[in-house]
Every structure is written in C-alpha cells, then in structure tokens.
Structure 1
Amino acid sequence: MAKTVRAVVIAGNGTNCEREVAAACRMAGCDVADVIHIAELLAGRARLDDYHFLNLAGGFLDGDDLGSAKAGANRLLHARIQGSEEHLSDQLRRFIADGKLIMGVCNGFQLMVKMGLLPAVDGDYQAQSATLTFNDGGRFEDRWAYLKVDPASPCVFTRGLTGVYLPVRHGEGKFVPASDEVLSAMEQRNLCVLKYSDPAFEGPAFDYPLNPNGSIAAIAGVCDPSGRLFGLMPHPEAYVHRTHHPRWTREADLPEEGMGLWLYQNAVRFIRDHLL
C-alpha cells in the first residue's frame, strides 16, 4: 500500500491564502492537503495528529492589526477542544515531539513567533524571544524580494538552495529579536535561514527597497534548531508556477516551476524519507 503524505492548512479568522498553500502542497507531492477551519479543530472534528505537515497561512488574521497575531497565538495556545480536557496546544506539542514539519507564512510566521515556536534557540517552545512589528516605512508593502539562503542552516525546507525570489505583502514584517543575545545565538546556530538580499544573492540587504521592512540583520525567515519548524514573511505559495512571476511574459527562459515550490518539495521529500 502506498504511503500517504498528509498536509493540513489551518484557515479562519481572516486568513486568505489557505487554498494557495494547499495547492502548493499538492503540486509538491502531498497526497492529501486538507484546508481545515480552526473551528473544526476546536470542535474535535479534525485533529493535527492525523497529519505530517502543518501549514499556518497568511492573509489578514484578526484584521491584520498590530497584536492580531498575539490574539491568534493565544487562541491556538489556550483554546480547549470541545467535549475534551485536551487543548489544541497539546496536539501542537505532540506534533512537534513526533518530528513533524510546520511552516508559517506571513501571518503564520507571526503566529509562530508569538507562540514561542520560533526561533526557540534553546529548544524551548514556550517563551517568546522575538517579535514582528511595523515596517520601517510605516505602510503596507507589496513587492518582490530577493532572499539569500544560509547554506549552513539546519532548515529542512531550504536544503540545496542558495537563493529564492518571492513576493512580500505585509504591513508588520520587521523581525526584531528580544535581545542582542538572542540574535547572536540565532546567528551562531544558523537559524536566520533567509535574509533580504541583492539580486545576485551575494549578501544581506539592509536598505529599502531590497529590505522592504527594515528587519534587524535583514532577517526574512527563521527556523528552530531542529530545522523542522520554519517561518518566513515572503509568500512561497504565491510563486509555484512560471506565470506567477511578475515578468513571465518578458522572460521566456523561466522554468515551469516557481521558486516557492522548492520549499514544499523539500518538505515532502523529508516526510517520505523520515516520517513514513
């Protein structure tokens, strides 16, 4: 019997990218990519235990106001499953302990940071040690960004990659570690997976517009020490086919697969190699 790779995308409370994420998972080789409203999880009609790959999608979570991700994080951390003594956070902890994969994009990245799942430099998934705040420009940014990949990172999702080109669309994407010590630990452990870069992917970009939000150390994406939990502000699900590229009608040599798909393909490859 064929082994089944099962992905789940949580929807609700303002997210609007869940179907694009599910499509990316299917294109990458997931046999199942379910979009589940958070109400279904809280009612006990769906369980995280049934999946290998959890996706926290972007959109306009809780109105996309500053602090909205904190409200969403509290919902995930403290809400109890209907008719049960179990909390949704219990399923989430089991999911991580079982060696499964989590990717958060945009609002989903904010959720993971606010919940303490990232960067978790000491393997402590309880304490928040960074935040994402207003862009330095004080406005919503909708543009494409060059992202340099740290080749020494333990991140499962970026293995074999040197750089990717993806769209950003956010008003609160500036990554700020809680302290210089947290940033130093992240750098030493190669947890700063993606950094805003120049078009040649040669180094971090600190100035606008290459760095669209003013993130400290040009950080655009972060993983935990295991490399299995990953969050990023740019949207990989928004570039999984050549026609998603802003210059696809002018660049005839673009490959059929968009760069964002590579992240999902790496996830599926890891699941088949290690979890099935």
Structure 2
Amino acid sequence: MKFAIVVFPGSNCDHDAYHAARDVLGQNADYVWHKDTDLKGADVVILPGGFAHGDYLRCGAMARFSPIMREVQAKFQCEHVHIRVEQTDTPFTLACRRGQVLRIPIAHGEGNYFAEPEVIARLEANRQIVFRYTNAAGAVVDDANPNGSAAAIAGLCNETRNVVGLMPHPERACEPVLGSADGLLIFESAVAALKTGVLGGSTRSALEAVG
C-alpha cells in the first residue's frame, strides 16, 4: 500500500504523517509537492495540517479576507482531546468501533466548524459526521468541545465517504511515547480498507487534516 503526503509551503505535519505511515505502520510513503499532478500511484492521499499559503505575514495579508472562525477560547490550543467515532463505514474508521472514544491531540487557534442549521441537519441525515468532540466517557458536553464547533463536530466525510477531514491530528498520536497511539487506528483503517476491497479499483481516498 502507498501513501502520498501532499506538502504545501506552510505544512507542519507532513513529517509526522510520513513517519506514521512509513515508520510506524510499515507502508510505502512519498512526499508530493502541492503543485505536482503525479500522485505516484498512491492509494491514500494525506493533506497534512499547517498553513497552505506558508507561515509568513505576507501570505496572511493576502488571505486575510477569507472567512476564518476563531475558536471560543481565542487562543492557540495544543492538547489532547477526546473524539468519538460516529461512523465506521469510511476508509479511515473501518478499524474502529462506533462509539469508540479516541484520545487525539489538537493544535490550532482557529478552525471551529460552523454551518447553518440546515447544513448540519443534512450532514446528520447523510451520516457525514465522522467524529465528535466528547469527554473521556464519550458524552457530548460543552466543556469537551475545545473550539466551539457546531454540533461538536471534529471530523466530516464527503457524500461518497472516501474523503475525511478532521481538526485533531491522528499522525501525532501513533505511538505510546507521544501520549496516545489511538491515531494509529485511523491509518490502520486505511490499510484494512485496501485489503478488504473498500479502496479497490480506481477509488482513491484522502485524509485531510484541517488543523
């Protein structure tokens, strides 16, 4: 199996994702520059966290008109949180149990998910909410929602269920020495999906870390 880690000028989790896929999981992995069109035969594409425009003031000046929601505490947060698996029929949750609580770190100052009520209702109806912020017991409570995301949403998938985007960083929770190895389940799910044919044929899956 082969992972492609897409690198942007301001990516800061690309090496973590590469290490998780290649060194921890033992799979083939390659870096792919964001302007390249050749994904090098990858089965899974990872868009790691960071700053797409680069971590520079000039890029921030250009992107300042984009809608960005400050998280409720209005400060950068880097800590472990708990997220509950809501759906297991995606290539990135296949090895998880529905209702399973994972301990995964976050690292962001913006990015609380926001959508109009009708959009949230549609996501609920389509079962596109893949992860929610909860406490350690798996309960959705305000204190466990670190950034004020609507409906405690921590991760979503597209309608065809082969693309998942999430704020927490599973690539930073793939070894016990990091405080949790729960993130490895997300990578192991992709491997299981390929072996069981979920990723067979021309289907390619993407994991997007939006934090």
Query: Under a length normalisation based on structure 1, what TM-score does the superposition of the two structures give?
Result: 0.63
Query: 1:214 aligns to what SS in structure 2?
Result: coil
**Structure possessing the higher radius of gyration over alpha carbons:** 1
Relative distance call for 1:60 and 1:22 in structure 2 (3 A) is same
Q: Which has the higher helix share?
A: 1
- Structure 1 residue 272: deviation in Å? 2.7
Find out whether 1:13 has 2:4 as its counterpart: no
Q: Which runs of 5+ in 1 are unaligned?
A: 72-113, 115-130, 247-257
The separation in 2 between residues aligned to 1:259 and 1:174, in whole angstroms, is 22
**CA distances 1:214-269 after superposition (whole Å, capped 9, x unpaired):** 000110111123221101100000011110007xxxxxxxxxxx110110010011
The separation in 2 between residues aligned to 1:242 and 1:64, in whole angstroms, is 33
Among 163, 184, 191, the residue aligned to 1:261:
184
The separation in 2 between residues aligned to 1:64 and 1:56, in whole angstroms, is 20
Q: What is the correspondence of 1:46-85 to structure 2 with a 5 Å cutoff?
A: 47-48=38-39, 50-62=41-53, 63=55
Amino acid at match of 2:111: G
Among 16, 20, 28, the residue aligned to 1:24:
20
Relative distance call for 1:221 and 1:56 in structure 2 (3 A) is same
The separation in 1 between residues aligned to 2:165 and 2:149, in whole angstroms, is 14
- Structure 1 residue 13: deviation in Å? 1.2
Relative distance call for 1:33 and 1:49 in structure 2 (3 A) is closer
Amino acid at match of 1:164: L
Amino acid at match of 1:233: M
Find out whether 1:157 has 2:87 as its counterpart: no
Amino acid at match of 2:9: N
Among 209, 219, 222, the residue aligned to 2:156:
222
Query: 1:225 aligns to what SS in structure 2?
Result: coil
Relative distance call for 1:64 and 1:266 in structure 2 (3 A) is farther
Query: 2:105 aligns to what SS in structure 1?
Result: strand
Relative distance call for 1:132 and 1:52 in structure 2 (3 A) is farther
Query: 2:6 aligns to what SS in structure 1?
Result: strand
Aligned equivalent of 2:30: 34
- Structure 1 residue 37: deviation in Å? 2.2
**CA distances 1:85-138 after superposition (whole Å, capped 9, x unpaired):** xxxxxxxxxxxxxxxxxxxxxxxxxxxxx9xxxxxxxxxxxxxxxx86210111
**CA distances 1:5-45 after superposition (whole Å, capped 9, x unpaired):** 11100113110110110111122242x20012224x0xx5x
Aligned equivalent of 1:197: 134
Q: Which runs of 5+ in 2 are unaligned?
A: 202-211
The separation in 1 between residues aligned to 2:189 and 2:107, in whole angstroms, is 24
The separation in 2 between residues aligned to 1:64 and 1:175, in whole angstroms, is 24
Calculate the aligned-residue CA RMSD, in Å. Answer: 2.4
Query: 2:196 aligns to what SS in structure 1?
Result: helix
The separation in 2 between residues aligned to 1:165 and 1:64, in whole angstroms, is 31
- Say whether the 8 Å CA contact 1:29–1:265 is kept in structure 2: no
- Say whether the 8 Å CA contact 1:132–1:176 is kept in structure 2: no
The number of equivalent residue pairs is 190
- Say whether the 8 Å CA contact 2:8–2:51 is kept in structure 1: no
The separation in 2 between residues aligned to 1:243 and 1:59, in whole angstroms, is 23
Among 218, 224, 233, the residue aligned to 2:167:
233
Among 105, 123, 136, the residue aligned to 1:167:
105
- Say whether the 8 Å CA contact 2:85–2:132 is kept in structure 1: yes
Query: 2:19 aligns to what SS in structure 1?
Result: helix
